[in-house]
Amino acid sequence: MNRHELLHNLHLVLQPRTYFEVGVRNGASLQLARCQSVAVDPFFKVSHEVRCDVHLVRTTSDEFFARRHPFAHFDQPAIDLAFIDGLHLAEFALRDFINTERHCHPGSVVVFDDMLPRNTIEAGRSQKVASEFKSWAGDVYKLVGTLRTLRPDLVVAELDTTPTGALLVANLDPRSTVLQEAYDGLVATLVTPDPQEVPETILHRSRAISPEDLLADPVWPQLRRVRRLPRAGAAAAARRLFERSDLLTGALA
């Protein structure tokens, strides 16, 4: 299963009311949405038919989030499903997650692409070098360890998608400031010269979940009901759901 097949199926099982993506490119992922959507990319060239109510923004994600009301397009300004596939560098992806989570709720789901590079060339910070080998994941894989270490409250699940893996993050808390407060110090450790030291667990996908198994988990229709609860009750209900999931309980500390 590739990233677009994963996204298509997540739209089906989650039935999101709102969708947000960073990194539009040609619209291959945006075309999967059927709900109110916001999509951000400074250089998009949409060549796919888009069939949703979309606010398409030609700017950087940092500039977008600096707006006073970035999600004014939504009837209710909260993200149900987000896909982060922007610049493939850890510090940018982390910043996109921090800013995205602020606009989420306990029943939201965030998906990252390119999280399981297959070798150190794909995992490098140089797109030019990696492009010679046809695939560039960048060093966004570093967020796997960062999120697990600093945010044990999150569900952090690596997914064995082709070609370069994905990451699903759930049990979100828009009130958390942990990552924002740690950001400057994290950048100093995340930004390192090539070649990157990619953990064996990433290269061999030893912790990765089959996307088919993930989508078959009964947690998703139940998570849809969490969205109707008041925020305080929703947080507790979402955590109980993930704790009871045989597949995802290992991704939740």
CATH 3.30.460.10 given to domain 3-251: no
Cα(191)–Cα(112) distance, integer angstroms: 19
Q: 70-117: per-residue pLDDT in tens? A: 999 999 889 999 999 999 999 999 999 999 999 999 999 999 999 999
Rg for the chain, CA atoms, rounded: 17
Q: 151-181: per-residue pLDDT in tens? A: 999 999 999 999 999 999 999 999 999 999 9
Classify each residue of 161-193 as buried b or exposed e, where b means 16 or more C-beta atoms within 10 Å of its C-beta: beebbbbbbbbbbbebeebeebeeebeeebeee
Q: Supply the pLDDT for residue 135.
A: 80
Give the model's confidence band at 253: pLDDT under 50 very low, under 70 low, under 90 confident, else very high.
low
DSSP-assigned states of every residue in 158-221: EE--BTT-EEEEES--TT--HHHHHHHHHHHHH--PSSP---HHHHTTTTPBPHHHHHH-THHH
Q: Supply the pLDDT for residue 230.
A: 86
Domain ranges of the chain: 3-251
Q: Distance from CA of residue 35 to its chain's centroid?
A: 18
Q: Supply the pLDDT for residue 133.
A: 65
